[in-house]
Structure 1
Amino acid sequence: MIPPCSGLLGNGDFEHKPKPADMKGTQVLGQHAIPGWEISGFVEYIESGHKQGDMLLVVPEGAYAVRLGNEASIKQAIKVAKGMYYSITFSAARTCAQEETLNVTVAPDSGVLPMQTMYSSNGWDSYAWAFKAPSDLVELIIHNPGVEEDPACGPLIDSVAIKALYPPRLTNKNLLKNGDVEEGPYVFPNAPWGVLIPPNIEDDHCPLPGWIVESLKAVKYIDAAHYTVPQGQRAVELVAGRESVISQVVRTVPGKVYVLSFAVGDANNTCAGSMVVEAFAGRDTLKVPYDSQGKGGFKRAVLKFTATATRTHVMFFSTFYHTRSDDMSSLCGPVIDDLRLVSVRSPRRLRL
C-alpha cells in the first residue's frame, strides 16, 4: 500500500476487519488477517465498548482498534523517498500496567515511547515519532515489549498515519528554524487532543523539525482547528512544567546584539491560572507571566541579549504544572508560538 505524503496508512484506522474464520474471540489468528498489516504474537481486535472484566476498553477513533499483548507487534511496508524525513502519528491507550511502553521502529531508527504518563483524561493520547528513510521501501513496526503476567495485557493502537517532513531553511527574517512551528507531525482532523512529541532521548529525529524536545516529558503539538493558537495553524503547548522543554542551538556572532521574540498564551482548553514561560538565550533569561482564563488569548514577549559564543542555546519551558479545570486531571500548560530570533545592528536602533 502506498500512502500519500500525509494521511492514514493502509487500513491505518483498522476499520477493515479480519474475517470471522481468522478470529478466536478477540484474538487475531492469522499473520495477515488484518487487512494491510502483518501481525506477530498475541494481537486482539477490539471493538468500541468491549469490556475487560469491569473495565471498558476505549477505542480512540472509529469502531475498532488493535491491542498488543506481550511481545506482540504490527507491521506494515511503506513506500517512501530515500533520504527524506517522515513522522508517524498514532493513538494509543493504556489498558493494564502503569509501565506500559511501545517500541516504534523503522530500521535503523527505533524508539521506546513510555506510556506511564497519560496526558489526557480520555484514556488515550496521540504520539508522534520521526525517522529518516534509509531506502524507498521501509517497514514500520509497532511492538509491545511488555512482560505482564497476563500475556494479553497491553496497549491499544489506533489511527496510524504518516507525514513527510520538510526541514525548514534559515532566512534573514528569522535565525530560528521552524520558528512558526507550522512544520510538524500529522494531526488527525477529528482528534481534539493534539499530538505528543516525545523527548529527544526517545527519538533521534524530532517530529518538530528544527527543534529538540530537551526534557523528560513530551510537549504537545496543537492545531487551530481544535485550539486557540497565537498565529497560523499550529503551536506548541508546554504540558509538563519544567519537564516539558523545547530548544534549538543557533549560530551567532560573539558581541552582536540579538532579539528573541515570541508569543505566550493559552489554548482555549480550560487551562486556567497563573502561568510563567521561561525563555533562555545563552546566559540571558526572561520570565514571562501570563494570567490565563483558559479561554484563549496571548501576549508577546521580547528578550534582548548580546551573544557570547558562536552558538547560542535557545530554550523554553513552563515554570509551573497545570491541569485543565474541567476534569482536573488532563495535563496542560502555556502555549508558545511565533518564535523569532533576529540580529540588530545597534542597541540604540532597537525598538521593543
Structure 2
Amino acid sequence: MMHRFTVLFVVLCATFHIAISLTDGLLRNGDFKQGPRPWQLNGTVVGRHNAIPSWEISGFVEYIKAGQKQGDMVLVVPEGAHAVRLGNEASIKQKVKVVKGRFHSVTFTAARTCAQDERLNLSVNPNVEKNDWGILPMQTLYSSDGWDSYAWGFQADFPEVEFVIHNPGVEEDAACGPLIYSVALKLLNPPKRTKANLIKNGYFEEGPYMMPNTSWGVLIPPHVEDDHSPLPGWMIDSLKAVKYIDSDHFYVPEGKRAVELVAGKESSLSQVVHTTPRKVYVLTFTVGDANNSCEGSMVVEAFAGKETVKVSYESLGRGGFKRAKLQFTAVSERTRIMFLSSFYTMKSDHSGSLCGPVLDDVKLLSVRTPRRAA
C-alpha cells in the first residue's frame, strides 16, 4: 500500500512539474524556425492561414530570413534566426495551455521596419465574451541593435487561451509593419510582503521571461497599456516603459535582476504599501548603472508619503552602485512608493538609444519613532 502511494505521489509531482514547465519558455515554434513549405510562399508572403507550424495567421504576413531584402533595404534579423512581419491589419495567434487563475507574462522580440509610429495589439481571447488586451507602442527605440523585447501580463481565466499579436497599422505600403522573431510565456509567482521587507518583489527577482539569445533586456510597458503588470508587485505608471535587466548581460547590484529607468521622468514605477499612520518608516534602495555605455550624471528621485529624496550618481558606464535612504512618517493607511529618473540619458555608443540609472534592492521597514529632545 505504501509503495502504491509513493508511486502515485511521484506521478502527481511529475505531472504538476510538466504543467508548470509548459508555461516557461518559447511557445511552440515561438522562434519561427519551422517555416512554410516553399509552395506555401509567394516570395516572402505566406499564402495559407496555417502554413507556419503551430501558428494561425490572417492578413498580409511575410516569412523573413536573416539578410532578406526589401528593395534597397536589408531587413536585419539576428543571425540564423527567422521572423514574421505583420502588414496592415495582420495577425498571428496560437492556443496556449496556462494555469487558470494565475498571472502570466508574454515576452516577444520585435523591430520596426518602414513606419516610425508602429504599435501592436496583444490579446488573450479564450472566448467571445471576454477579451484581455493591450496596446504596445514601438515609436521609441531602446536598444543599440534595432530590436527590443517587450513583456505583457495577463490573468488566465481559462486553462487554455488564444494569444494574438495584431498589427493595427494602416500604411500606404501594406508590407510595412513590425518584425517579430521570438515569443515566450512565463508563469508569474505572486510576490508577498515579509517582516524583513514591506515591499513586494523589492529585489525584482520575479518578472517576465528573459530571452536567452538576446542582450537588450525586456521592456515593461506603462500601466495604462497593461492592466496586469508583468513585473509582479509593481506598477509602471509613466508614459514610457522601464527596462527589466539580468546579470547575464548587465551589471546588477544585487541578485540576478533589476530595472533600468530608461526614459527620464517619463519612466517611473511605483507600489502602494500598507502603512500605519504616524508610524516612521525607512526606505532603502540602490542606484547604479548597467555597464552598458550609459555615462554621465544621473539622478533618481524617490517619493514616499510627503517625503522625497534625490540621489545623484555619476556613471562611467562600466557598472557600479551606491545605496540610498529615505525616512518618512506615514500619513495614511496606504502609502505610494515611487521612483523615477530626473534626466534623459543616451548611450555613448552613438546609437541614439535611451538608457538610465539602475534601481535595485528596494526595502521598506518600520522603525521606532525617534525620541523627542527633552
TM-score, length of structure 1 as denominator length: 0.97
- Which residue of 2 is the match for residue 13 of structure 1? 31
The offset of 1:348, in angstroms, is 5.2
Instruction: Give 1:347 deviation, angstroms.
Output: 2.5
- Structure 1 residues 296-340: Cα deviation after superposition (integer angstroms, max 9, x where no partner): 000000000111111111100000010111124111000000000
Is 2:211 the counterpart of 1:193? no
Task: Count residues with an aligned counterpart.
Answer: 349
Following superposition, the deviation at residue 63 of structure 1 comes to 2.3
**Does the CA-based 8 Å contact 1:82-1:135 persist in structure 2?**
yes
The CA deviation at 1:97 is: 1.0
TM-score, normalised by the number of residues in structure 2? 0.91
Q: Distance in 2 between matches of 1:56 and 1:348?
A: 69
CA distance in 2, matches of 1:59, 1:131: 28
What is the identity, as a one-letter code, of the residue corresponding to 2:257? R
Partner letter of residue 80 of structure 1? V
Aligned residue number for residue 72 of structure 1 = 90
Q: Deviations over 1:56-97 (max 9, x none)?
A: 112246421000010000000000111111000000111011
Q: 1:224 to 1:2 in 2, by over 3 A?
A: closer
Q: Deviations over 1:31-76 (max 9, x none)?
A: 1100110000110000111111222112246421000010000000
Cα drift, residue 3 of structure 1: 6.7
Q: Which residue of 2 aligns with 1:26?
A: 44
For structure 2, the 5+ residue unaligned runs are 1-18, 126-130
State how far apart, in whole Å, the 1-side matches of 2:254 and 2:334 are. Answer: 28
1:212 and 2:235 matched: yes
Over the matched positions of the two proteins, sequence identity in percent amounts to 67
Counterpart residue identity of residue 360, structure 2: D
Distance 1:62 1:159 in 2: 13
TM-align CA RMSD: 1.4
* Structure 1 residue 246 corresponds to structure 2 residue 269: yes
Aligned to 2:369: 346
Counterpart of 1:82 (choices 92, 100, 122) is 100
Equivalent in 158, 162, 176 of residue 199 of structure 2: 176
Range that drifts further, 61-70 or 194-203: 61-70
Provide Cα deviations, 1:167-193, integer angstroms capped at 9, x if missing partner.
101111111110011000000112110
Q: Is the 8 A contact 1:278 1:288 kept in 2?
A: yes
Give the match's secondary structure for 1:213.
Answer: coil
SS in 2 for 1:314: strand
Gaps of 5+ in 1: none
Counterpart CA distance in 1 for 2:208 and 2:313 is: 27
Alignment of 1:264-279 (within 5 A): 264-279=287-302
TM-superposition CA deviations, 1:91-137 (whole Å, max 9, x none): 01110111111000003210010011111231111000011001001
Q: Is the 8 A contact 2:31 2:81 kept in 1?
A: no
What is the aligned counterpart of 1:222 among 235, 241, 245?
A: 245
Compute the displacement of 1:156 (Å): 0.3
Aligned position for 1:288: 311
Q: Of 101, 123, 140, which residue of structure 1 is paired with 2:119?
A: 101
